[in-house]
Structure 1
Amino acid sequence: MINPTFIEVNRFICAILSGVLAGVLFDIYRVIKGDEQSNPIITFISDVLFWILTSVLVFIFLLYTNYAYVSIYIYLLIFLGLFGYLKLFSRGFSKILRKIINETYSFTRAIFKGILYPINILKYSITKKKKKI
């Protein structure tokens, strides 16, 4: 069946965007996973779970945007979108994401220290009084 041009253009754009979505998810996974070496079994399980989740999300995206019409050129366009994202935007997005995570961690740590500081002073003053008695 021959489809109108705007439907094919929509499928083309949605397939490339689903590849970009997979690339963004992959960068988020890499940043969260970190650089340290962990148990190979845990790494394998987490990688498999990541790719299952990513494939489900890409399928849902394609289902929502173009009724999950999948053919060989859709797979090629997903790969093209993923490859293009990884080559053009991945490094910058990873740096921004790491900075956001580090700043959020520092802010949360400062808030907790600020909340716990009066509690520690109170605890210290109570234990100091008990030692004098």
Structure 2
Amino acid sequence: MTLNVQFHTIFMMFLSGIAIGAIFDVFRVLSGKLRLPRWTIPFIDMVYWIVATILVFRLLIYSNEGQVRVFIFLGMGIGICFYFAFLSTWIIRLTLLLIRITIAVYRFIAKTVEIILIKPIIGLYRLTVIILGFLLAVAIFLYRIVLQLLYPVWRLLLWMTRPVHKYFVIPVWLKKLKGNIILIFRRLFSK
């Protein structure tokens, strides 16, 4: 292994130490902001270590074909210390800013969907209900007027056919119809 490869490997492990620290801070901020249940913490830790291990070994394979040496851990340790000394607060602020931007975009999209889609649909539904209610009220009103206009005609018809009732047999369905009509008129005029 040449000296150039060793310096390249130390630099890559330095970068992987910075990346491990950044991933740690992002996971920590996200788990704090999302208020995840306590039972998910071991799962999140496991995901963090899997991601960190894959990252380190991918960089190690890229830099020196996967050979593990003592200076690799030294480079990672220096990278982690450098990150927490100089970059941690910036990454946390950046993560919080991205969370705020994401929430603001989500609220904007939700409000836009509400204004453009949901409110017009609700307005159309309410307008339809009002129009149908109005038409129903008009239909009931006209129905009552027609019944009131026909009532004297019906009484006249009954009066004119009274002599016929005495001499002819009236079909049963006509008697029921007469009873139903009289019942409807009584209900209408009793109110």
TM interval, shorter chain, is 0.7 to 0.9
> Which aligned pairs between 1:28-107 and structure 2 lie closer than 5 A?
28-34=26-32, 36=35, 38-39=37-38, 41-107=39-105
Q: Verify the 8 A CA contact 1:11 1:66 in the aligned structure 2.
A: yes
Identity of aligned residues (%): 22
1:18 to 16, 27, 43: 16
> For 1:93-131, what per-residue CA distance to the aligned partner results, in whole angstroms no more than 9, with x for missing partners?
110121022112202320231122122222222232244
Q: Which amino acid aligns with 1:27?
A: D
Specify the alignment match of 2:148 in structure 1. none
Q: For the aligned residues, what is the CA RMSD?
A: 1.8
Runs of 4+ aligned residues of structure 1 deviating over 4 Å after TM superposition are none
User: For the residues of structure 2 that align with 1:86 and 1:76, how far apart are their CA atoms?
Assistant: 16
Following superposition, the deviation at residue 38 of structure 1 comes to 2.6
User: For the residues of structure 1 that align with 2:84 and 2:58, how far apart are their CA atoms?
Assistant: 22
Following superposition, the deviation at residue 51 of structure 1 comes to 0.7
User: For the residues of structure 1 that align with 2:95 and 2:40, how far apart are their CA atoms?
Assistant: 24
SS in 2 for 1:68: coil
SS in 2 for 1:124: helix
Decide which moves more: 113-122 or 16-25.
113-122
Specify the alignment match of 2:123 in structure 1. 125
Specify the alignment match of 2:167 in structure 1. none
Report the structure number with the largest CA radius of gyration: 2
Following superposition, the deviation at residue 28 of structure 1 comes to 1.8
> For 1:37-92, what per-residue CA distance to the aligned partner results, in whole angstroms no more than 9, with x for missing partners?
632x3211221221122111211121112212211221122122112101210111
Instruction: State the TM-score, normalizing by the size of structure 2.
Output: 0.61
Q: Which amino acid aligns with 2:77?
A: F
- Give the number of equivalent residue pairs: 130
Q: Could you say which structure has the greater relative contact order, defined with CA pairs below 8 angstroms and 6 or more residues apart?
A: 1
Which ranges in structure 2 are unaligned for 5 or more consecutive residues? Answer: 134-191
Larger helix fraction of residues: 2
Which ranges in structure 1 are unaligned for 5 or more consecutive residues? Answer: none
Instruction: State the TM-score, normalizing by the size of structure 1.
Output: 0.85
